[in-house]
Structure 1
Amino acid sequence: MQLFDRFNLGHGFRKYFEILPALDDTLRDDVFRIRHEVYCQELAFEPVRPDARESDEFDAQSLHCLMRTSHDPQQLVGCTRLVLTDPESPQTPLPFERTCAKTLDRSIVDPSRMPRDRIAEVSRLAVRSPFRRRRGETQDSAPIHDEDFGNVVYPRFPYIPIGLYLGAIALAKRSGIDTIFVLTEPRLASHFAKLGVEVKQIGDPVEHRGTRIPSMMDVESIIKNMRFLVKPIWRVIHDEIESGYKRTKGSSRLSV
């Protein structure tokens, strides 16, 4: 990576990748195909489907985010989704509320008592194997490691997984979401701290495709407190998400 790209993450991201909201059937089909490749065929987290698309009941109430290479839109990189609460049944649990029903510390936060239209969950983050950095990493859909950030002399940046998380945050911001929940590997908090993002653990670990920690993040705090070095990539991703909505004139909270 060239020196300029190391210190201007927005330029570096735009040079290699593009991110967009999956607002039509064609783009959502790309999302479901990536998820099937990663979650069903590679990791065997879900059963293989005859149509080679992985989807579940929460997709109907989700906003989807798709990453492609900037030089070839047909080259799919990864995806994630932001699961909103069901507007017709707001108290219906989000996926993490089901998985962590017995392990959430409700003295920290009780999602069932929060304004349900102001919370959401980031889930189904998946990166295709050609874009996962290390050979042999088959047990994680989007691994992030300390060394992915490099060091002071030779800095690096894990563009793909962080870019997908920032894409989900951009979707949350434009959808009026205050708090996002995530169920991830234990190291996520330390990785996000490098970016100036506070991830608050809200319960005990659970066994869900490996050890996972239920956590929460405040959307406005993420945007306000992210490190100076990260702000350029955030602006690029935010603008690309907004451009995707403008192109499709998708201005509603939920476009499915």
Structure 2
Amino acid sequence: MVSEKQSFDNCFEVFLADTPESRQIHYNLRYQVYCEEMGFEDKTLYPDEMESDEWDDNAVHFLVRHKISGHWLGGLRLVFNKNGTLPFEKHSASHQPISHVKRKASVEMSRLCVIKEARRFSSKRFAPYGLPEQEISAESEKVRSFYNFKNQTRSMIWGLFKAAVDYSSENNLDYWYFIVAPALACFIRREGFELSQIGAPCDHKGVRTPYEISVKNILQNPLWLTDYKNGFAVYSDVFKEQASGMQKTAYA
């Protein structure tokens, strides 16, 4: 059992990235994970070290950071239908057509990432696409101070999930779709979430399978009874307040 001191709400905070600057934080985290670490995206296509694609302008982005140090550690996005299509449909057709009404109340969760320093103590099978085969041996000084127990990656994934599902509930979004590796699907199911496979597995940077899950099912999970209660803050609200406070100090 995680102590109150080690709870997600005590250690971390999640932000809705509502500004170009905050979205760029997510793009850079993705670059670190998908380009530099995993090699799933060609890093030469992103000389600015910002991994982005055609879906980002039609998505909302969430970021997680460590409260004390202020380090940004991971993120995910929820993608809305674009011209009647979700990203997973470029790779795998669903067994049954998704109705127009259902599409209006649906998003696709993708680009879940947690940087390697934050994954230092986690099992390889919990990474978005699986960690590299070699173990990470060097311990960063900035990591040692606040990653001192094993399941922080799980905690950050669930913190991002909870923030994103709170947003979904507030905005009448009833269904999530995602296309993931078998290990990540197993990880999600093991925590009691009810995934429904909606299409055949496909080859997309390895074997990936499309799934559907209801927002109602995510919200009913007992995982949220003891932690993850803080939801998310809006990046511009928090950092405008900080900028205003600094300005007042300068003129004091």
* TM-score range relative to shorter protein: 0.7 to 0.9
Match for 2:202: what amino acid? Answer: V
Question: 89, 102, 114: which is aligned to 1:97?
Answer: 89
Partner Cα distance (1:115, 1:129) in 2:
36
> What is the CA deviation profile of residues 186-209 of structure 1, one whole-angstrom value per residue up to 9, with x for unaligned ones?
234443334332111112211112
Q: Give the whole-Å Cα distance in 2 for the aligned partners of 1:25 and 1:34.
A: 14
2:107 paired with 1:120: yes
Counterpart of 2:234 (choices 219, 226, 244) is 244
How has the CA–CA distance of structure 1 residues 135 and 55 changed in structure 2, closer, same or farther, with 3 Å as cutoff? Answer: same
Gap regions ≥5 residues in structure 1: 145-154, 249-256
1 CA distance for matches of 2:151 and 2:28?
29
The 1-side partners of 2:158 and 2:210 are apart by 18
Check 1:135–1:14 CA distance in 2 against 1; reply closer, same or farther (3 A cut).
closer
In percent, how many aligned pairs have the same letter? 28
Aligned length: 218
Give the Cα–Cα distance (whole angstroms) in 1 for the partners of residues 64 and 130 of structure 2.
Answer: 16
Deviation, structure 1 residue 47? 1.7
Other-structure match for 2:227: 233
Output the CA distance in 1 between the equivalents of 2:235 and 2:63: 13
SS of the equivalent of 1:33 reads helix
Name the structure 1 match of 2:69. Answer: 72
Query: Matches of 2:173 and 2:122 in 1, distance apart?
Result: 37
Unaligned stretches of 5+ in structure 2? 132-149, 239-252
Q: Deviations over 1:21-54 (max 9, x none)?
A: 1011221111111011111111121121111101
C-alpha deviations, 1:3-32, integer Å up to 9, x for none?
6xx1659x7102221111101122111111
Instruction: State the 1:234 CA deviation.
Output: 3.6
Per the alignment, in what secondary structure is the counterpart of residue 129 of structure 1? Answer: coil
Which residue in 1 is equivalent to 2:60? 63
Shift of 1:139: 10
How far apart are the structure 2 equivalents of 1:161 and 1:134? 14
Aligned 8 A contact 1:94 1:121 in 2: yes
Cα distance, 1:172 vs. partner? Answer: 1.7
Q: 1:142 to 1:164 in 2, by over 3 A?
A: farther
**Is 1:216 the counterpart of 2:216 in the alignment?**
no
Which residue does the alignment assign to 1:33?
28
Contact between 1:83 and 1:121, CA under 8 Å: does it hold in 2?
yes
Give the TM-score of the pair, scaled to structure 1.
0.75
Of 185, 190, 198, the match for 2:194 = 198
Q: Distance in 2 between matches of 1:176 and 1:246?
A: 23
Runs (4 or more) in structure 1 with deviation over 6 Å come to: none
TM-score by length of 2: 0.76
Equivalent residue of 1:20, what SS?
Answer: strand
User: Larger C-alpha radius of gyration, 1 or 2?
Assistant: 2
Partner in structure 2 of residue 42 of structure 1: 37
CA distance in 2, matches of 1:190, 1:138: 10
